[in-house]
Amino acid sequence: MSSADQTRRLALAAAGLALVSVPALAADDQGKGPGQEKATPAVEDLMREHGVLRRALLVYSEIAARLAPGGPKVDPRPLNQTARLFRAFGEDYHERKLEEVHICPVVRRARGPAAAYPDVLTVQHNRGREITDYVIAVTRDGTLAASDAEVLARALNRFVLMYENHAAREDTIVFPAWKLALSDRQIEALGDQFEDIEEQQFGHDGFEDAVRQIGDIERAYGFSDIGQFTAPPPRR
């Protein structure tokens, strides 16, 4: 065993991990550092975009609960930013530039069980845009009229229910059907094309920027510590 391997084994043991032999990584196998580019496969790209959108949905859920009568006062500005992020990253890019152009037509043509999905997914994209318009309108100018709170809370909750179902079906039914309908080479080429579209749309790494934005929104509402969401033990 080389001295490098021995050092690695000692480090693992010190960390309380199982003592297993970890071969040294070849230069090509090593990960990239911060700021370095690494290609993202097309389906992973779509699913990590859902991750950003799901974080926006979590903001909507939490804020909808706070908007209940007698709840704490809600600063509407981060909510407005969330809706604008959903518009730019979710609706104008992920849905309009990727799914509606590159995913739905392929899944429709493949005629498998997933072919029934694109129609309803498109209806839901359009309904989502109506709701986003509404959220942006009622939180415009950093204010929220008390008379809008109840309707806004209901709209947010219905949007969350719709989009959680929507993204979960895409992740587990539609994207796998899309991947199956295309060759590995086509999928790889589309991964590159998606990165070009992202560059054209945002002029920079849209995903990293969206992650930064949703992180700022979570911080503004006090949601950034994930530990606060750890469920309590069940009561018997």
Single-letter code of the amino acid located at 119: D
Per CB under 5 A, 45 contacts Fe ion: no
Whole-number minimum distance, CB 2 to Fe ion, in Å?
47
Per CB under 5 A, 170 contacts Fe ion: yes
Distance CA 66, CA 50 (A): 24
For the chain, state the CA radius of gyration.
Answer: 22
Whole-number minimum distance, CB 167 to Fe ion, in Å?
5
Per CB under 5 A, 218 contacts Fe ion: no
Q: List CB contacts of 163: < 8 A, sequence separation 6 or more.
A: 53, 57, 124, 128
**What's the half-sphere exposure (Cβ side, CA atoms, 13 Å) at 6?**
3
Whole-number minimum distance, CB 95 to Fe ion, in Å?
5
Interaction with Fe ion in 135-154: which residues (CB under 5 A)? none
Tell me the number of residues near Fe ion by CB under 5 A. 3
Give the Cβ contact number of residue 26 at 10 Å. Answer: 7
Closest-CA residue to 207 (of 41, 38, 48): 48
Comparison of 99 and 218: residue with beta carbon closer to Fe ion: 99
Query: Which span sits near Fe ion by CB under 5 A: 30-38, 56-64, 75-83, 93-101?
Result: 93-101
Query: Which span sits near Fe ion by CB under 5 A: 1-9, 54-62, 95-103, 198-206?
Result: 95-103
Query: Which span sits near Fe ion by CB under 5 A: 8-16, 98-106, 112-120, 202-210?
Result: 98-106
Closest-CA residue to 54 (of 204, 162, 155, 172): 162
Per CB under 5 A, 91 contacts Fe ion: no
Whole-number minimum distance, CB 47 to Fe ion, in Å?
9
Closest-CA residue to 171 (of 213, 92, 117): 117
Whole-number minimum distance, CB 221 to Fe ion, in Å?
24
Q: Which residues bind Fe ion (CB under 5 A)?
A: 99, 121, 170
